[in-house]
Amino acid sequence: MKKFLYILLLLIFVQMVNAQLPPVFDDAANEKATASEMSKTYLIPSAIVWQSDSTGTNLQNTGQLLKMGNGQVAVNDTNLTRFISDSINKPGILLDYGKEIHGGLKISMGIRPSKTPLKLRVRFGESVGEAMSDIGGDRNATNEHSLRDFIVEVPWLGSVEIGETGFRFVRLDVVEVNENAPIKSVEAAFVYRDIPYLGSFNSSDQRLNEIWAVGAYTVHLNMQNYLWDGIKRDRLVWVGDMHPEVMTINTVFGKNNIVPKSLDLARDQHPLPQWMNTISSYSMWWILIHKNWYDYHGDMDYLNEQEMYMIALLDQLATFIDKDNKEILNGGRFLDWPTSTDPKAVHAGLQSMMVMTFEAGSEIMKLYGKEALSEKYLKVSKQLKKHIPKGNTSKQAAALMGLSDLEKPSKINESILSKNGVKGMSTFYGYYILEAMAKANDYDNALDVIRTYWGGMLDLGATTFWEDFDISDIENSGRIDELTPKGIYDIHGDFGEFCYVGFRHSLAHGWASGPTPWLTQYVLGINVTDGGNTIKLKPHLGDLKFAEGTFPTKFGILKVRHEKSSDGTIKTEIDAPQGLNIIQ
């Protein structure tokens, strides 16, 4: 357990390609993990970023907080950290736990003459700036969704555990004067789903390796009781946002019950004619996720449970097409936030999604053995293709037009997707931009997009991927893991719009994990078909010298390694579990 956690926190599981992995995908173990839901462990800080006093007057022996203890207070503890306040100084300290985590804080205090509880102000932060901020103001720090700024009482010769949020940094401040508090430890209570990383990715480019791993870890953190979008804010099941997360889960963790559990919650919370999360596109994503889930795992029993709702939803969607074969969807008309103020982009995206949804619905009806319905929905899809939206210039909607074949992928890629580098990207729809570039056979540029855009977050200190990221914000901005000097922008607090202004911006959003499944599918070349029975292996190494990894299948772990020869040919080694069909 401790070994796995250590590997997880240091994100070196990408180096485990050649390590011994389970010989088969263990459904029983997976069910056991999800039955117990979550695990908890305690972590000490890795660094002190800031402290209000360095003279030894109001803060003493602070380095002791960085040392692993035994977790038990005692009457004879002497080597403790002391927080000493007076009429002028109330000491504070900012701790860094090294990586974004989900959970709370356990504070333990030793013995002292006064038996009264110690009042501490606790501020959690996904960035240094957020942990140092006050609620409100221009930078919009909040206590929404999860409390991150509050006062707690720590008992004499005891411990208190508080908080449930996403964070990396914690600031503690003494609230009252004339305190002399011996603090034994300030440990992060890390709450996570204890499951193995079955998929892996390793290549000659360490930057891509790290991006793959950070995407996997971001989704892992959001696999709480349900599959959330963010661990600090948006601790909700947003069905559209789930799609990149589900593709990451398929790639890294394999078949995990949190996906059907979350899909069923969304279905039951939104009986028809409601749209899921009040957004029409999110109801379409529900259908598309089910198609992907079946493609990867072949669980027909689960798909059968959706039949009545699935057919009724498809029939409802079909009523929102006008005589010119144009979608006229009501409810929330939404793709992602950056396109939300552009009606042409929204329509182009929704028209594309309608095409893809009815194509997926037609294929699902074939699985149900309902040929008449399959033909009906395929006809609807073909009718929708007769209307080609005009005037869209957004990369997000353009990507969907390419994926749905409303426009030729090569044309879309040349005219919109490959223009202006990574400007106009979004973390959510970045996945579909990459998908559309792959469909246009532009794998080299897609790799550069991953390195520049998602790598840009890493360059600013990210250990998880963010709700939103505008590459232009990098200029004259500081890192999230450092105090921001005067004259420099705080990348977290000084930017953002829509729902993610300033510190309200989530820095651990699962919808941003797109490079993880993309690298496995297109670089390792692992394309899943036939309900998970068949893998079509088609690697695209681009400028990489080699790429290797593992992938969880319904039969066990698939291992592949591709190496580029001096003449450009690729030599592939495969270790496939029995029963899995491989097509090269």
pLDDT value, residue 32:
43
pLDDT value, residue 134:
97
Rounded to an integer, what distance in angstroms lies between the CA atom of residue 471 and that of residue 420? Answer: 11
Q: Give φ, ψ of 545 to 5 degrees.
A: -80, -35
Domain annotation covers residue 153: yes
In this predicted structure, the answer to whether residue 462 has a pLDDT above a threshold of 50 is yes
Q: Where are the beta strands (DSSP E) in 412-555?
A: 526-529, 534-537, 546-553
**577 and 557 Cβ atoms separated by less than 8 Å:** yes
In this predicted structure, the answer to whether residue 13 has a pLDDT above a threshold of 80 is no
- What would the two tokens of residue 440 be? 């246009």
Query: 524: how many CB neighbours lie within 10 A of its CB?
Result: 29
Range of the domain at 100: 39-192
pLDDT > 90 in the chain, percent:
93
Q: Map residue 351 onto helix, strand or coil.
A: helix
pLDDT tens-digit readout, 403-442: 999 999 999 999 999 999 999 999 999 999 999 999 999 9
- What is the chain's percent helix, strand, coil content, to nearest 5? 40, 20, 40
Tell me, what CATH number does 99's domain have?
A: 2.60.120.260
Domain annotation covers residue 231: no
- Region 135-159: mean pLDDT is 97
pLDDT value, residue 9:
42
pLDDT > 70 in the chain, percent:
94
Domain annotation covers residue 171: yes
- Region 473-490: mean pLDDT is 97
Instruction: Find the helix packing angle between 307-318 and 280-297, rounded to 10°.
Output: 140
Domain annotation covers residue 560: no
In this predicted structure, the answer to whether residue 5 has a pLDDT above a threshold of 60 is no
pLDDT value, residue 405:
98
Domain annotation covers residue 442: no
- What would the two tokens of residue 174 be? 């003494």
- What would the two tokens of residue 222 be? 């959001």
Instruction: Please state the domain count of the chain.
Output: 1
**258 and 35 Cβ atoms separated by less than 8 Å:** no
pLDDT tens-digit readout, 226-254: 999 999 999 999 999 999 999 999 999 99
- What would the two tokens of residue 323 be? 């005589």
Domain annotation covers residue 508: no
Q: Where are the beta strands (DSSP E) in 110-251?
A: 118-125, 149-154, 158-174, 180-192, 200-203
Domain annotation covers residue 364: no
Domain annotation covers residue 136: yes
Question: Pairing relation of β-strands 180-192 and 39-43?
Answer: antiparallel
Rounded to an integer, what distance in angstroms lies between the CA atom of residue 554 and that of residue 255? Answer: 8
For 212-281, give the DSSP string.
HHHHHHHHHHHBSSSB-SBSSS--S--HHHHHHHHHHHHHHT-S-THHHHHHHHHHHHS-TTSPGGGBHH
- Region 286-315: mean pLDDT is 98
Q: Is the pTM of this model over 0.85?
A: yes
